[in-house]
Structure 1
Amino acid sequence: MPNASLTERGLIAVLAGCPKLHLVLYFCRQLEDAALDTIAMIHPNLIRFPLCSVKPQTPEYLTLGPLDTGFGAIVHHCKGSWRLSFSGILADWVFYYITAHTKKLEILSIAFVRNSDLGFH
């Protein structure tokens, strides 16, 4: 299978079969909020979630907006997360959600976000 890659559905299937998983490192070309929500629901015990978009200026491909809803789901459901790394288009809402719901967060790495910091206030 030349040039085969793991899709969102494939990632969710793999994760569903690994109930003790605490870390997911995923490099993707596209992602949708619903996939992140599903990952958060099936793995609320994730403590580290680095997610890297290989095309960081690409929006969520269904809504063409930021990935705030999906990242918000990770933050909301994975209460024990202490390290989060995100790249991609994010807006202020996700940063508000991070400050409101990540009580154990020690490391936050963000790249390629929009040009506002209103979510931190």
Structure 2
Amino acid sequence: MGRTLGFPTANISLEGNPSLPQNGVYAAQIEVDGQWLPCILNQGRHPTLPQGAPTIEAHILDFSGNLYQRRVTVCYRKFLRPEVRFADASALRAQIARDEADARAWFATHPFCESASILETPEQSV
């Protein structure tokens, strides 16, 4: 779904992930081939454009590679906001752009994880 909005995402299976933080949008990091990259992550049911079961979708900032069928590790860093139902796809697209700007600003002042367990608990400090 993210690609159709102009924000391609890695869709991550919820299966086998024992404890997840609350649904919402996060500044996060994703490990791809041993390299940690910043991303914005939505965990939940995407209420504006509902499609099936809850998912985790990560939009990796400044990344254009293909992650299909690849294993990735996610580190939740900062809760940005709860999931919200928007009036239409255009309003959702505008909010995703704001989420990306908020995540970039947060990463500018916070160091990256060097390593993380899969789906570690999000950092609560601002």
TM superposition score normalised by structure 1: 0.25
Please identify which structure carries the higher strand content. 2
Q: Choose between structure 1 and 2 for higher RCO, CA contacts under 8 A separated by at least 6 residues.
A: 2
TM superposition score normalised by structure 2: 0.24
